[in-house]
Structure formats: C-alpha cells, structure tokens
C-alpha cells in the first residue's frame, strides 16, 4: 500500500477567535476543549480541491466524492478568480480543480494570495513504513505451521478471536511476503497493466499473509488464542492503546470545532485527528486531556516557510 487516502467528512467551520495566547511562549495550551476554529497568525498553505457550485469557491479539506462533478464541503475561499485557472475542470455549471493554495486564514475564510495546479507529488501519501510487520522474521522465515487452518476462513476466525481479547488493539494483514508483491506494487503505482482480478486473487493467498495482532498487555495469551484458529504466519506485538480506548476518544472528539472527522484503528495505534488548522495548541490540549501517544493532530493548513 503506497498511497494514502485523505479521510473524513468536513464539519463546517465555527466562529473565529481562540483563547488568549502568550506569543512569547509558543502556542497556547487550552485549559479546556477549543470552542472555535483557530485562525492563523501568518500565511498558510494547503493542497486541496477548490470547488465552486455557483455560490462561490470552497476548499475541500475533507473527503471528496469522486463523481463528475465531485462533491464536497468546506470553508470559503476569497480572492479566487477562475479566469486565472484555465486548467480547471467544468461540468454542469460546476468548476473545480486540485491546487496548492497559499493565503491568509481568519478562522472561517481563506483569502488566497497564490495558487498553482497540484501535481501527484503534492498530494499527501501514506508512509510505506507504517505497513511493515512489527516482528522480526522468525528463524526459518515466515512459514505455515498448520495448513488446515491457513485459509481465508481461518483469517476471519482469527479476526474474531483477536477482537474478543480484553487488551485488543489492532489486527491487520501484511502481504509483502507474497511472491506477487512486486507486481501488486507496480499495479498500485500505475506502472503495470494486467488482469486486476487475477492479481487480487493471487494476493489474497493466506499462505503469504502475515497476520499482525497488537495488544496492550498479554502477548502470550493473544498468541495462544489466535494460534488455535490460525496456522499461517503470525506476529503478535505490543501496542500502547486498546481499540476500545481509541473508539471512546474518537467519539469524544467528533464535536471539536474545525475537525475533519477523527479516525481510529490505524497502524499508528492512535486517534488520527485531522483539523482545518492547528497552531500546536490543539495537539497540546489533547496530550494533556488524553495523554501522549493517544491522539495525533494533523492540520490541513500549515504555515508557509
């Protein structure tokens, strides 16, 4: 898996302003949950789809529905002239395009000072290292220990068993040991044209699937439980947060002003909290509220420079 996906549905921006900050001491550390979308003290940058359905352009900072024309919602964009962007697409009275945008953010509107078409290299990508099995390769390699329980049905059983563990954090599959992995990578990158169904079927071979099970406490218990139903390659490793804890935190953060829908259950074993803008104070607040290594804040608008 090489390419990341920008997830979440945009929640409309709230009122401007934030709690008083001591500029000499860096970002403010809110005493309680932020109550407004944070403005920016200086120019900011983002890579985004700019969409205009006739009521004025907006930035699609959350998920974009890939229809034609696309559909999304987001903060208003001021100072935008479509005549300056003849490369933009148009259909059904809608104009849109992917752009690298620089401007001033007041908490509700981005006033554009510069923009150019976005290239493939501009869009965020998932780091390959996020999807690497956590365990060292065992002596003798990643081998099947029981062919009878190395089936796709057994993978489903292993998921159910893992999810019932009291300290369950995450289960995911690493297929990089599959002999067809290089072809799959080339297909994902758009460098290979072949029968996609045939390749997908080959990549689903349970003999070449390392199940990764993350728990917070008892690794031996987890391995014994999963081994009762799964005979293929297995990695049991320690995580910091349980899935139940991350779900609870994500639910609590869904009403945070300017959030782009918290997600949990990722390889990072944190709640991923995308927001419209964070000057560092939101990250500081969630670290105080929930502890470090529980929530990771990413800001769609980042400082220029």
Q: Does residue 155 contact residue 209 with C-beta atoms inside 8 Å? A: yes
Q: Would residue 237 count as lying in a domain?
A: no
Asked if 112 and 148 sit in the same domain, the reply is no
Average pLDDT, rounded, for the chain: 87
Q: Are strands 94-105 and 57-60 parallel, antiparallel or unpaired?
A: unpaired
What's the pLDDT tens digit per position in 113-125? 999 999 989 988 7
Residue 94 falls inside a structural domain: yes
Give me the mean pLDDT over the 17-46 stretch: 66
Q: For residues 103 and 156, state if they share a domain.
A: no
Q: Cα(104)–Cα(44) distance, rounded to whole angstroms?
A: 6
Contacts of 108 (CB under 8 A, 6+ apart): 13, 15, 16, 37, 75, 76
Is residue 249 within 8 Å of residue 272, measured between CB atoms?
A: no
Domain count, the chain: 2
What is the pTM assigned to this prediction? 0.79
The rounded distance, in Å, linking the Cα atoms of 58 and 143 is 52
- Residue 39 within any structural domain of the chain: yes
Q: What Cα–Cα distance (Å) separates residue 119 from each residue in 19, 99, 116, 285?
A: 37, 8, 9, 34
Both 182 and 96 in one domain: the answer is no
Of 130-144, 153-167, 169-183, give the range with the top mean pLDDT. Answer: 153-167
- Specify whether 106 is located in the same domain as 172: no
Facing residues of 214 across strands?
170, 237
Q: Would 204 be classed as within a structural domain?
A: yes
Q: Could you read off the pLDDT of 187-234 as tens digits, one per residue?
A: 877 777 767 788 888 899 999 999 999 999 999 999 999 999 999 999
Q: In 98-125, which positions are buried (b, 16+ CB within 10 angstroms) versus exposed (e)?
A: bbbbbbbbbbbbbebeebeebeeeeeee
- For range 173-182, the mean pLDDT: 93
Of 122, 157, 189, the one marking the end of a domain is 122
Q: Read off the pLDDT of residues 264-281 as tens digits, 9 standing for 90 and up.
A: 877 889 999 999 999 999
Give the pairing of strands 44-52 and 295-303. Answer: antiparallel
Q: What is the largest CA-CA distance in the chain?
A: 65
Last residue of a domain, one of 232, 254, 285: 232
What sign has the CA pseudo-torsion 80, 84, 85, 86? positive
Residue 250: inside a domain: no
pLDDT at 263: 87
Determine the average pLDDT of the residues in 127-150. Answer: 88
Q: What is the pLDDT of residue 29?
A: 52
What pLDDT is stored for residue 63 in this prediction?
83
Q: What is the pLDDT of residue 11?
A: 23
Residues 160, 109 share a domain? no
Backbone angles phi, psi at 98, to 5 degrees: -95, 130
Which range of residues forms the domain containing residue 47? 23-122
């Amino acid at each position: 898996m090489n390419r990341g996906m920008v997830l979440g549905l945009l929640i409309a921006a709230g009122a401007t302003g934030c709690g008083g900050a001591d500029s000499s001491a860096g970002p403010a550390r809110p005493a309680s949950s932020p109550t407004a979308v944070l403005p920016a003290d200086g120019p900011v940058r983002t890579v985004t789809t700019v969409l205009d359905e006739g009521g004025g352009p907006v930035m699609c900072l959350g998920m974009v529905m890939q229809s034609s024309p696309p559909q999304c919602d987001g903060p208003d964009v001021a100072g935008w002239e479509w005549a300056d962007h003849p490369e933009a697409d148009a259909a059904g009275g809608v104009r849109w395009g992917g752009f690298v945008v620089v401007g001033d953010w007041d908490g509700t509107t981005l006033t554009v000072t510069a923009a150019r078409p976005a290239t493939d290299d501009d869009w965020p990508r998932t780091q390959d290292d996020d999807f690497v099995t956590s365990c060292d390769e065992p002596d003798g390699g990643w081998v099947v220990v029981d062919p009878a329980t190395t089936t796709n049905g057994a993978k489903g059983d292993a998921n159910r068993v893992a999810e019932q563990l009291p300290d369950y954090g995450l289960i995911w599959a690493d297929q990089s040991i599959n002999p067809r992995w290089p072809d799959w990578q080339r297909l994902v990158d758009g460098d290979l044209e072949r029968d996609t169904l045939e390749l997908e079927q080959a990549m689903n071979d349970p003999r070449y699937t390392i199940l990764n099970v993350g728990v917070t406490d008892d690794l031996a218990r987890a391995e014994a439980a999963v081994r009762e139903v799964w005979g293929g390659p297995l990695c049991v490793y320690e995580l910091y947060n349980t899935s139940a804890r991350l779900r609870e935190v994500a639910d609590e953060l869904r009403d945070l002003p300017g959030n782009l829908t918290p997600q949990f259950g990722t390889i990072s074993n944190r709640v991923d909290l995308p927001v419209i803008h964070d000057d560092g104070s939101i990250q500081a607040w969630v670290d105080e509220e929930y502890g470090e290594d529980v929530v990771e804040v990413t800001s769609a608008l980042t400082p220029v420079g």
